[in-house]
Amino acid sequence: MRRKNIAAGNWKMNMDRAGAKALVEGLVQGDFPGEVGMILGVPYVYLADAVSWTAGSGIRVAAQNCHPAESGAYTGEISLPMLKDIGVETVIIGHSERREIFGESNAFLKEKVDAALAHGVQPVFCCGEPLGIRKAGDHAAFVESQLKESIFHLDTAHITKLIIAYEPIWAIGTGETATPEQAEEMHAHIRTLLQSKYGQEASDSISILYGGSVKPGNASDLFARPNVDGGLVGGASLDAESFLKIANAF
Ligand code: PGA
């Protein structure tokens, strides 16, 4: 199965309820190709609303995080059964802000990926290197170890349920985008790793998104690369017009 092109938004800790509603309504009413998957990464407190605002539109609502345990003494955390309970079937796992600010390790992210898949929730698994690693030329090996330690234990039936997002940390929220060549180089590397472990058919079926200062002005150049199957978009996903332009940039 040929992989899907995807425009995924990551709202992070932004928006109020009225703004979220207006943004979702703008997207639901907006035009983008039916074959492009749209995913919105919404703050926890607006998830249930977003599920109802997007009902019947084909737009998927994603949580930005989850806890791997079913339930229990984890003050402040949200479980996968809770997400499922309100109709959320996608979750962003391993965003660099979770890794860097909240200290989430590859091993902990592995638990989250396993728990999400066990509950039938699709992970958008994020990877990507910090600036120092890029400057040292170690980015390919760094991303490879993130994948090996968090998702390469999966079997083919499970890995093919994932969306992978490559987000070089130095390009997130900085206005500095990886060049399409830099993005393609890493995406091709990831695809090759997938192919050698899971075979051609599986590796061809997995969407690999680029994230880091994707904007209407650079999206089509990025998405034109053979292994860049869309974007995980922060700042530019907070405005319906700009996010729709990105969803139309394939
Ligand atoms: P940005 O964020 O588009 O604002 O750089 C991307 C992300 O962190 O997912």
Q: Which listed residue (97, 104, 129, 167) is catalytic?
A: 167
Please name which of 179, 182, 208 lies closest in space to residue 193, comparing C-alpha atoms.
208
Nearest C-alpha to atom 6 of ligand 1 is from which residue? 234
Q: How many residues are present in the chain? A: 250
Question: Could you read off the pLDDT of 178-205 as tens digits, one per residue?
Answer: 999 999 999 999 999 999 999 999 999 9
> Is the pLDDT confidence value at 1 over 80?
no
Distances from the Cα of 164 to the Cα of 13, 21, 151, 175, 208, angstroms? 22, 27, 10, 22, 5
pTM attached to this predicted model: 0.97
Q: Is the pLDDT of residue 2 over 90?
A: no
**119 included as an active-site residue:** no
* Ligand 1 midpoint to CA 177 (Å): 10
Stretch 226-233: mean pLDDT: 98
Ligand 1 pocket, CB under 6 A? 10, 167, 172-173, 211-214, 232-236
Query: Which atom from ligand 1 is nearest to the alpha carbon of 211?
Result: 6
